[in-house]
């Protein structure tokens, strides 16, 4: 079956630091990959997505590249801000409506 593994947190960074959250997946087909972000007290919001190998998703300074050879979709941001403090979820969809989520990574950015 499909599964998503992402690095465990929590991750604590200083402002302007570089952020990487690792995500690897197992899927039977050719999935679409997503990063969702959850700010405190809110629901999940789609941050970025990629639908095929070598696609790069980007939004709000975050980027992730769909790497089929390593089955990975690592999230990166070059310079984080306090407002980036949130829980980040990697997810995949294997050609249908179902999303499989990773466990989530809590990121805290300190001023």
Cβ atoms 45, 36 nearer than 8 A: yes
What Å distances lie between residue 111 and 13, 15, 81, 96, CA to CA?
9, 5, 8, 41
Task: Give the residue, chosen from 28, 70, 96, 111, that forms a contact with other proteins under the rule CB under 8 A.
Answer: 96
- State which residue, 19 or 48, has the beta carbon closest to other proteins: 48
Secondary structure letter of residue 70 according to DSSP: T
Does the footprint of other proteins cover residue 31 (CB under 8 A)?
no
Choose the stretch contacting other proteins; rule: CB under 8 A; options: 13-21, 62-70, 78-86, 87-95. Answer: 87-95
Site string for other proteins, 33-72 (x = CB under 8 A): -x-x----xxxxxx--x-----------------------
Does the footprint of other proteins cover residue 101 (CB under 8 A)?
yes
Question: How many CB atoms lie under 10 A from the CB of residue 31?
Answer: 26
Residue linked to tokens 């984080």 = 80
Secondary structure letter of residue 62 according to DSSP: E
List residues binding other proteins (CB under 8 A).
4, 32, 34, 36, 41-46, 49, 89, 93, 95-99, 101-104
């Amino acid at each position: 079956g499909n599964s998503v593994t992402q690095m465990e947190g929590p991750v604590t960074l200083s402002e302007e630091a570089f952020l990487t959250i690792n995500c690897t997946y197992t899927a039977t087909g050719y999935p679409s990959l997503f990063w969702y972000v959850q700010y405190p007290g809110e629901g999940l919001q789609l941050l970025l997505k990629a639908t095929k190998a070598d696609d790069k998703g980007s939004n709000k300074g975050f980027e992730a590249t769909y790497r089929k050879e390593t089955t990975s979709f690592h999230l990166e941001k070059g310079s984080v801000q306090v407002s980036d403090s949130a829980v980040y979820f990697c997810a995949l969809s294997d050609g249908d409506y179902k999303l499989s989520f990773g466990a989530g990574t809590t990121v805290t950015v300190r001023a």
